[in-house]
Structure 1
Amino acid sequence: MRIGFFTDTYFPQVSGVATSIKTLKEQLESQGHEVYIFTTTDPEAEDFEKDIVRMPSVPFVSFTDRRIVVRGIWFAYQIAKELDLEIIHTHTEFGAGFLGKMVANRLRIPVVHTYHTMYEDYLHYIANGKVVRPTHVKHFIKMFVNHSTGVVCPSQRVVDTLKRYEVDVPMKIIPTGIEVGRFIRPDITSVETEALREKLGIQNGELMILSLSRISYEKNIHVIVEQFPEVLMSFPNARLVIVGKGPYRDELEELVEQLGVQKYVQFTGEVPHEDVACYYHAADYFVSASTSETQGLTYAEAIASGTQCVVEGNDYLNQLIDHETLGATFEQDEDFSDTLIHYIQQQIKMDPAIQAKKMIEISAERFGSEIFTFYQELIHYYGENHDEERLPKRTVRKMRVRIASLKNSEDK
């Protein structure tokens, strides 16, 4: 099958969405399919990248480390037509997402969408939440997703949200898988993990508590920092290591100073992708209080690395961490410190058999297989139900005129 991914986020930008897309691309290609990525330009990108088409872009409002496609529709359409794509998979609701829909409509092929981001959790970034309201998100997402053939939902939370938005296209829950081999890593020795802990200033007998994510407000890392003094009262040998970069780091560092726990908390910044597994292996526990996750790749990575998780739960995470040997979840922000303290006190060991079973559930292989099956279902569904008259004639005409006008403007 020939598949086109349209996304505003891809490497060298580092994010859970980029990782998910790369994982899916590799899995589909391992099954013999052809996958082409249509995405943004990036000053850090290589000059030539196989099967990647980059289109002019600009930094996204309020997220200057992210980009959005601003033109190149005719260019993308011509390439997609030449590649004879059979299905388009959009991974954004903005520039490249709209572009993908227009190309799919012009080629008369199905378009599947993955809803990666819970936008209501990010409204504070746009004029402190005073301009864009939840009701605006609802209407925008309803319009965008309902013009897809189907939608991939990484978790039940996404399904519930889209139903609340009155989305009525076929949905399927397919959690994003991970390359478990990249994290099981029997080649990472105790010598290496001890060397990393020493580099971080963590002594023998001290507990390494790991937070690994983008450092942004919605990740709720401040909840962990605020309650860390309580953890220290029970475990004065605990050390919090915060890995990642993002716009909220300065505020977190100020909070650490205000609490007087500089000796017990450190920020590493972003670490190379190939070194992440070693951090998981070196840690005693992985923690998170994020409430904005739709797929939680870092949680799965921690479990694959053999590191137990203490995290704020939701429908997806409660299913992922469904046995005490894998970790514990808590319901409210204020429950973090008590849950972590209690879990450490229990001294529960990871059960290899339960971990191995979980690895099958979260594997990239299963992820790729389920996505391809959904593609087949949607192609059949599209063939049975597609009729240009299903879209308002005015909308179809606008799409055709838009592509034609953009061709003329790009030729100039």
Structure 2
Amino acid sequence: MQTSVRLQKKFLEKLGHRVTLVSPGVRGNHAPDADTIELPSLPAGPGEYSFVLPSVLTRRALDKALATLPPVDLIHVQGDFWAAIAGYQLAEQRRIPVVHTMHNRVDVGIEATMPAPGLVVRALGAWQKATLGIRGPGAKTAWEFLGNFAKRANAVTAPSSHFAALLEERGVYSPVRVVSNGLDDDIAKDLLATAESTASGTEHHGRPRLVWTGRFSQEKRLIPFLEAVKASGIDADIHIFGNGALRKQAETIAASIQPATINFRGSVPYPTMLEELQKADVLIQTSIGFESQGMTVFEAAALGTPSVLADHRIAADLPADCFWLTPGDGVPGLAQALAVAVDDIRNGSGPSTAAYDPTSFFQSAKTDLMLEVYREALGERAHA
């Protein structure tokens, strides 16, 4: 999501638009960014994250920062909690249209990370009701929570057709426009040109090279992936990117795995991650029901790398022959898919991404689509 927002900003600015980001205070020493308004915030755990409690203090801080900038034409909300509340409060205060991109399966995320998820959702609903002045009872489900935001939006987008359909089915909003997250044109063109000139896109590794990337958290299913590697007995070179609370447990399991070798690579810059996706023989996607798009799967496909998909919904937006699907949701099904993928890679067979047009996933194309949504939202408010 952070990568997506940064890319949207970069490519909107290339077309001459002005983009200001509003975020929690960034933790650690860093140079101030004139295009980012950092609100008073609290640390969220020991890592990089912070959160904002929308209040008179934060509204004053936002108003003070915006007073030094040209007038705002449109607010693009790309969050589901504090960011959404702050964005809609500002929109109501200044009568500015809102486009809301819903990135997250809030229901699955809360169930995977919180004790008593039902109570958590009701608490969020009460908070939303109080801060936005919602009439009637507060939200009792995650879908009602999202829907209470969407009622105040001029347009709602989602990054995949399967998530857009789910939002419509659950009564959040209709119609939901599909505008997927994209791939940086500049980096992608260089990588694709290098692959074409050196044939590195078809380079054969001494052992199949598998990549897994994501937060080390329950909903991303890193632990079941490692258990599946152990159960499958595959001989492969596995590179794991990311970090999180489950690292120690993951390293303990990895130490017992043979003959595969597990390399924990930590967090890396975006260009490096794209290079690693291109070098891989296969990307492993393991979360189920959590991803609203599964961005790395599309990045990998655009760079010539097929994926093993545990979430069959993601497959709906990919060409039919550029991935392996797990036959079941558990560890045995994932182990079976890994074994098949490694055998296919060794035999030079299996899925191909040749039918996938990488330019269709370039951020410039996604920015053109989003500008259409912006114009519609601005026109709707002007008409009203």
Conserved in 2, the CA contact under 8 Å of 1:312 and 1:330?
yes
- Structure-2 change in CA distance of 1:189 and 1:149 (3 Å): closer
Query: TM-score when scaled to structure 2?
Result: 0.81
SS in 2 for 1:142: helix
2:41 to 34, 42, 57: 57
1:98 to 85, 103, 107: 85
Q: Indicate yes or no: 2:90 matched with 1:89.
A: no
Q: Indicate yes or no: 2:240 matched with 1:245.
A: no
SS in 2 for 1:328: strand
Specify the alignment match of 1:392 in structure 2.
none
2:317 to 306, 319, 328: 319
RMSD across aligned C-alpha pairs, in angstroms? 3.0
Specify the alignment match of 1:119 in structure 2.
106
Q: What is the Cα deviation at residue 219 of structure 1? A: 0.8
Specify the alignment match of 2:267 in structure 1.
270
Which whole-Å CA distance do the structure 1 matches of 2:62 and 2:341 have between them?
A: 52
Q: What is the Cα deviation at residue 302 of structure 1? A: 1.5
Specify the alignment match of 2:137 in structure 1.
none
Q: What is the Cα deviation at residue 151 of structure 1? A: 1.0
1:301 to 291, 299, 302: 299
Conserved in 2, the CA contact under 8 Å of 1:174 and 1:370?
yes
Q: Indicate yes or no: 2:345 matched with 1:367.
A: no
Which whole-Å CA distance do the structure 2 matches of 1:38 and 1:220 have between them?
A: 31
Q: How does 1:13-412 map to 2 (within 5 A)?
A: 17-44=1-28, 46-60=30-44, 65-70=48-53, 71-80=57-66, 82-123=69-110, 124-127=112-115, 129=117, 131-132=119-120, 135-168=140-173, 170-183=175-188, 185=191, 186-187=193-194, 205-232=206-233, 235=234, 237-257=235-255, 260-261=257-258, 264-291=261-288, 292-320=290-318, 322-324=319-321, 326-330=322-326, 332-334=328-330, 335-346=333-344, 347-348=348-349, 353-355=354-356, 357=357, 359-385=358-384
How many residues align? The count is 351
**Which blocks of at least 5 consecutive residues in structure 2 are unaligned?**
123-139
SS in 1 for 2:20: strand
- Structure-2 change in CA distance of 1:92 and 1:351 (3 Å): closer
Which whole-Å CA distance do the structure 1 matches of 2:355 and 2:324 have between them?
A: 15
Which whole-Å CA distance do the structure 1 matches of 2:281 and 2:181 have between them?
A: 25
Output one character per residue of 1:173-223: Cα deviation in whole Å (capped at 9) or x when no partner. Answer: 1111111442451447999x9xxx9xxxxx962121111122211111222
Which whole-Å CA distance do the structure 2 matches of 1:178 and 1:286 have between them?
A: 16
Which whole-Å CA distance do the structure 2 matches of 1:382 and 1:45 have between them?
A: 41
SS in 2 for 1:310: strand
Query: TM-score when scaled to structure 1?
Result: 0.76
Output one character per residue of 1:90-149: Cα deviation in whole Å (capped at 9) or x when no partner. Answer: 111222321211111122120111111111222232236463259432332222222222
Which whole-Å CA distance do the structure 1 matches of 2:328 and 2:83 have between them?
A: 36
Conserved in 1, the CA contact under 8 Å of 2:326 and 2:336?
no
Which whole-Å CA distance do the structure 2 matches of 1:164 and 1:59 have between them?
A: 36
Q: What is the Cα deviation at residue 59 of structure 1? A: 2.3
Higher strand share: 1
- Structure-2 change in CA distance of 1:351 and 1:206 (3 Å): closer
Conserved in 1, the CA contact under 8 Å of 2:21 and 2:35?
yes
Which whole-Å CA distance do the structure 2 matches of 1:32 and 1:289 have between them?
A: 39
Which whole-Å CA distance do the structure 1 matches of 2:64 and 2:269 have between them?
A: 36
